[in-house]
């Protein structure tokens, strides 16, 4: 419900997937800043990329750990 009901604008091809039902409730997406109000802009950007409904547009794990949100985190090699 937070991300809204997928449609052809948010996820091209979703309506042709075998489990897609046109009778699904039509929920509008919510603003993530209201859902996680303590998260800064970089965190909101990363979160939105991680929960993207369209798998082809979703951030990869490699890109996620390189995201500016983690700029102050020092990974052990």
Query: Is residue 9 one of the residues assigned to a domain?
Result: no
Cα 18 from Cα 21, distance rounded (Å): 8
Count up the domains in the chain and report the number.
1
Query: Is residue 77 one of the residues assigned to a domain?
Result: no
Per-residue confidence (pLDDT) for residue 76, from 0 to 100: 67
Q: Which residues contact 59 (CB under 8 A, 6 or more apart)?
A: 46, 49, 50, 52, 67
Per-residue confidence (pLDDT) for residue 74, from 0 to 100: 78
pLDDT at residue 77 tops 80: no
Q: What is the mean pLDDT of the chain?
A: 94
> Contact 53/10 with Cβ under 8 angstroms?
yes
Query: Is residue 36 one of the residues assigned to a domain?
Result: yes
pLDDT at residue 14 tops 80: yes
Give the range of the structural domain holding residue 66, as residue numbers without chain letter: 14-70
């Amino acid at each position: 419900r937070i991300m809204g009901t997928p449609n052809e604008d948010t996820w091209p091809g979703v309506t042709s997937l075998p489990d897609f039902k046109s009778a699904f409730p039509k929920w509008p997406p919510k603003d993530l800043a209201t859902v996680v109000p303590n998260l800064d802009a970089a965190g909101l950007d990363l979160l939105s990329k991680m929960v993207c409904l369209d798998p082809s547009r979703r951030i990869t794990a490699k890109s996620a750990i390189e995201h500016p949100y983690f700029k102050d985190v020092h990974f052990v090699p």
